[in-house]
């Protein structure tokens, strides 16, 4: 076997493992990123969709945020305009979290219809620029 062939084997091994790692990485740790409507659709089409790690991007419904500082529990509803999901989150929300902000909720939808969040990210397109005053 020439050095070139041996090297090619090594190269194939490296490229193959990168590909394998990426594919299995996504399979094991990738999460669906859905809007509330898409989530509702999935759940009605496939009832086993509950209790699956996912991310939901939506807007917080103004006036639904209730904070219980003592137990660090945060409850709020999210919506994309059509479908509404209640969210419960134990932990510290980010500084930018407010009523009516866009959020990405990471967690699982349970049978009770509530998204049990493990992480809440406040998303704001103009995060580093001042919010224009209405």
Query: Which residue's CB is nearer to another protein, number 53 or number 63?
Result: 53
Q: Residue 53 corresponds to which tokens in the numbers above?
A: 């790690």
CB of 76 to another protein, least distance (A): 16
CB of 82 to another protein, least distance (A): 17
Phi, psi of 92, deg, nearest 5? -95, 120
Query: Which residue's CB is nearer to another protein, number 34 or number 60?
Result: 34
Phi, psi of 3, deg, nearest 5? -60, -35
Query: Which residue's CB is nearer to another protein, number 10 or number 112?
Result: 10
| CA-closest candidate to residue 59, choices 75, 77, 74 | 77
DSSP letter for each residue of 64-96: --EEETTTTEEEEEEESSS-EEEEEEESPPPTT
Binding site for another protein (CB under 8 A): 3-4, 6-7, 10-11, 14-15, 17-18, 21-22, 24-26, 28-34, 38, 55, 69-70, 72, 91-92, 95-98, 104, 123, 125-131, 133
């Amino acid at each position: 076997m020439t050095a070139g062939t041996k090297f090619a084997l090594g190269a194939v091994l490296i490229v193959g493992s990168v590909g394998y790692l990426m594919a299995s990485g996504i399979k094991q740790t990738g999460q669906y990123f859905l809007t509330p409507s898409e989530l509702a659709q999935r759940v009605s089409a496939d009832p086993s969709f509950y209790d699956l790690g996912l991310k939901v991007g939506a807007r917080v419904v103004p006036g639904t945020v209730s904070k219980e500082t003592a137990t660090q529990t945060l409850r709020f509803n999210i919506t994309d305009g059509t479908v509404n999901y209640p969210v419960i989150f134990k932990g510290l929300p980010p500084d930018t979290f407010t009523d009516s902000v866009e959020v990405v909720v990471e967690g699982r939808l349970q049978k009770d219809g509530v998204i049990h969040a493990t992480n809440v990210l406040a998303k704001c397109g103009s995060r580093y620029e001042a919010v224009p005053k209405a």
